[in-house]
Chains A and B, each alone.
Chain A
Amino acid sequence: MIELRGVAKAIGGLSLLDGIDLTLRGGEKLAVLGRSGSGKSTLLSILGLLAEQSAGRYLFEGRDIARLRAGRRDALRARTFGFIFQRFCLLPHLNAVENVEVALLHQGVKRRRDKALHALAEVGLEDRTVHRPAQLSGGEQQRVALARALVVEPAVILADEPTGSLDEETGHTMMALMHRLTAQRGTSLVVVTHDPVIVASFDRTIALEKGRLVKA
Chain B
Amino acid sequence: MNLVDAMRVAWQGTARRRLRTVLTAASLTIGVLTLVVVQSAQSLVHEATLHRAILRNGPATTVRIGLTTQASPQYWRDRAARAVPGADVAVYDSYSSVNLSTRDGDPLSVDLAAVEPSLLRIRPFDVVTGSWFTEARLAPQLVVNRAAGRVMGVARLAAPEGAVTVVVVGVVDDGDPTPHAYLAASDEPALAAAGLRPVGRSLLLSAGSIAPDRLRSIAEIAGRAGDIEELSRVDTVNEFDDQLATQRRIFLAIAILCLVVGSLGILNIGLSALRERTEELALRRALGASRFAIATIMILESQIVALVAAALAIVAAFGAVPWFLAHLTSVPVDSAEPPLSALGLGLSASALAALAGALAPSLRAARVPIANLLR
Q: Chain A residues in contact with chain B, CB under 8 A?
A: 41-42, 44-45, 48, 50-51, 70-71, 74-75, 77-79, 83, 85, 89, 91, 93-94, 102-103, 105-108, 148, 152, 160
Contact = CB atoms under 8 A, between A and B. Distances in A.
Nearest to B375: A41
Given A106-B1, A106-B284, A160-B374, 13 more contacts: A42-B374, A44-B374, A50-B370, A75-B288, A83-B373, A91-B280, A93-B16, A94-B12, A105-B5, A105-B9, A106-B293, A108-B2, A152-B287
A50 B374 contact: yes
Contact of B284 (A42, A102, A108): A102
A45 B15 CA distance: 32
B290 interface: yes
25 contacts: A41-B375, A44-B374, A50-B370, A51-B371, A71-B290, A74-B291, A75-B288, A78-B288, A83-B286, A83-B373, A89-B279, A89-B283, A91-B280, A93-B16, A102-B284, A103-B287, A105-B1, A105-B9, A106-B1, A106-B284, A106-B293, A107-B288, A108-B1, A108-B2, A152-B288
A108 B1 CA distance: 5
Report, nearest first, the 5 A-B pairs whose CB atoms are least far apart. Answer: A78-B288, A51-B371, A106-B288, A93-B16, A106-B289
Interface residues of B, number: 24
Contacts of A85: 373-374
B374 A45 contact: yes
B300 to A, nearest CB: 14
Contacts of B370: 50-51
Nearest to B2: A108
A41 B5 CA distance: 31
A77 B16 CA distance: 28
Consensus secondary structure, chain B interface: helix
Interface string B1-25: 1100100010010011000000000
A91 B9 CA distance: 12
B285 interface: yes
A106 B287 contact: yes
Contacts of A93: 12, 15-16
Interface string B277-319: 0011001111111110100000000000000000000000000
Interface string B356-375: 00000000000000110111
Contacts of B284: 102, 106
A42 B373 CA distance: 11
Nearest to A81: B286
Contacts of B374: 41-42, 44-45, 48, 50, 85, 160
Contacts of B2: 108
Nearest to B374: A41
A103 B374 CA distance: 17
Contacts of B287: 78, 83, 102-103, 106-107, 148, 152
A158 B63 CA distance: 86
B292 to A, nearest CB: 8
B286 A77 contact: yes
A74 B288 contact: yes
Contact of A50 (B1, B286, B291): B286
A50 B280 contact: no
Contacts of B16: 93
Contacts of A103: 287-288
A76 B185 CA distance: 91
Contacts of A94: 12
Interface in B215-234: none
Contacts of A75: 288
B373 A74 contact: no
Q: Which one of A50, A51, A106, A160 has the greatest number of beta carbons of chain B within 10 Å? A: A106
Interface in B85-127: none
B375 to A, nearest CB: 6
A102 B279 CA distance: 14
A98 B270 CA distance: 24
Contacts of B373: 50, 83, 85, 89
Contacts of A102: 283-284, 287
Contacts of A108: 1-2, 5
A152 B286 CA distance: 13
Nearest to B291: A70
B374 to A, nearest CB: 4
Nearest to A89: B283
Contacts of B285: 74
A134 B17 CA distance: 17
B280 to A, nearest CB: 6
Nearest to B283: A89
B283 A91 contact: yes
Nearest to B16: A93
Contacts of B5: 105, 108
A160 B286 CA distance: 14
Interface string B331-375: 000000000000000000000000000000000000000110111
Interface in B11-58: 12, 15-16
A83 B16 CA distance: 25
A74 B12 CA distance: 23
Nearest to A79: B288
Most buried by B among A41, A74, A102: A74
A111 to B, nearest CB: 13
B363 to A, nearest CB: 15
**Which among B279, B284, B285, B370 has the greatest number of chain A C-beta atoms within 10 A?**
B370
